[in-house]
Structure 1
């Protein structure tokens, strides 16, 4: 039985693990369409209700894929989290963020059509637009809530000050941000702010984009279209150091009777165990990877386990930024 969490004081009740769909649309190389759809079906059948996407994932491909996968399913049986605003060009070209109020409504109209639904459960700008006050962006989403097209406001990759400003306009359900054993900058100011304001956290990158899967090996190269080909943490000199951290985790996982991936996911979930405010997003794009991830929701980590994990991979232990330098400036917090 899949456990549930409520995103913040005002957000929806969702499964304790969410499904991140980005990898199904080419972010980590070519994905199999039929297998992707089967993975969504398997997730829903296992009790996973939170599905995260972005209108720029594959330039709309991901939303169309999810529309096919969700066709015929009870709309009240799942929650869609959608990011918007990241401009794209043909090919692997990323442009600026566009969070203007008129753009918010335009992006929403296209997402509703591609997804084939009448509302989005959590709608969020993918990044902060430095040219547009966050109050204006949240105000536009609030208008769409009042009109019935959106249920809740979310944020993504912003700092504590921005969270406060946004929350003053309309209650924020959750912040989506990278959080894993390798990416812990959120712990300093952002997570305490979320808890003060009663805002949930949906954590992506819980497996460090595959580094914490236990399957990436030194000398392995990313395929065509794979984001990791440009990731500093996978660069020569950095990846060997980071994989040594994974081997330390592997010894703990083996003693615990689980995989490295399950241990890494359970660690993220455990950071919100007392408050019930953190939901890890699992970026599985095959049924096999999903099946491996699901038991992490029931994996109980004791205080001794957590201390051993902390000793193996202390905060700041990873080498290399989590994004290429050109993209780091768009993040509200660092590594």
Structure 2
């Protein structure tokens, strides 16, 4: 497992992290036993970065992480969580000092620590990016020793560019994958110039880029790939990266022809992301041991040849960009 520097925090983290949404909820049923086994397997494979949120299973994800880390002992990985989506309704006016402190205190209890490594505003409403006082509340939480660093998880490239104008924002989490290539055009360069850590989320386009889905694939009622197909619960870009399902399936078949022998499509998709030096870590989810081990192994793959990278860019321009490029 290779490591990369996590922006201005100076922390060294594994370039493949562990996205802990799936072990919390909204991806169908994952037992606590399977969830913990997957996390153990990732850590055994060299993963040193875990990403979670207070709303993943209403705290279940954070609590499972705390249990696993307690079982393991030794040096702790870097654990990032998120705050803000517990607001109901999720509106900018809810991002108050009192609410943010309460969210942080709850995550401290769930993760069983005295200081959180990184707290990210969790895809806040657009108005929040223009409310300087919100970032001041986060500064105060740093001063109080409740959090070590803070960042923002964003929906849109423009939100990421706005967030990094705040001097103490250390990281941006953004959707970046073969189906969502717009961050390449400006955002990643600007983030690198400012030494901002970048976390690539939804790296497998909600599983589409594993190559294991078909028109006949069905999802459980509590899986966001069923209940958020058209953005009914949250931003549609979170589900299948916002690409219409049938369009994406057709593109996956073209990608399949480019995947080298002995490499899974999921590993290939993760390696594509790691071709970008501006990415600090990529956070695929895993529901079981095999997925966790396979994801981690992507770090050891050789670089993707330039002609293949160009073919993937052309595929994006021709087949995918019309649906997503200007939207996010």
Range class of TM-score, shorter chain: 0.7 to 0.9
**In 1, are the aligned partners of 2:24 and 2:59 still within 8 Å (CA)?**
no
Select the residue among 199, 211, 214 that pairs with 2:211: 214
Say if 2:181 and 2:316, in contact at 8 Å, map to a contact too: no
Q: How does 1:244-323 map to 2 (within 5 A)?
A: 244-253=250-259, 255-272=260-277, 275=278, 277-300=279-302, 301-311=304-314, 313-315=315-317, 317-318=319-320
The 1:180–1:163 alpha-carbon spacing in structure 2 relative to 1, beyond 3 Å, is closer
1:47 CA drift (Å): 1.1
Aligned length: 314
Between 261-270 and 68-77, report the one with greater CA deviation.
Answer: 68-77
Residue in structure 2 matched with residue 326 of structure 1 by the alignment: none
Instruction: Assess if the C-alpha contact under 8 Å between 1:88 and 1:95 holds in 2.
Output: yes
Between 3-12 and 203-212, report the one with greater CA deviation. 3-12
Hey, what does 2:101 align to over in structure 1?
105
| CA-CA distance at 1:164 after TM superposition | 5.8
Q: 1:216 to 1:160 in 2, by over 3 A?
A: closer
Give the aligned CA root-mean-square deviation in angstroms: 2.6
The secondary structure found in structure 2 opposite 1:151 is: strand
When normalised by structure 2's length, the TM-score is 0.86
Tell me the residue number matched to 2:134: 137
Would the aligned equivalents of 1:238 and 1:320 in 2 still touch at CA under 8 Å?
A: no
Provide structure 1 residue ranges, at least 5 long, that are not aligned to the other structure.
Answer: 323-332
1:87 is paired with a residue of what secondary structure? coil
Hey, what does 1:148 align to over in structure 2? 145
Tell me which residue corresponds to 1:243.
Answer: 249
Change (3 A) 1:305 1:284: same
In structure 1, what is the Cα distance between the partners aligned to 2:87 and 2:101?
A: 18
Change over 3 Å in CA distance of 1:158–1:238 after alignment to 2:
closer
From 159, 174, 180, the equivalent of 1:177 is 174
Unaligned runs of 5+ in 2: 231-238
Deviation at 1:17, TM superposition (A): 0.7
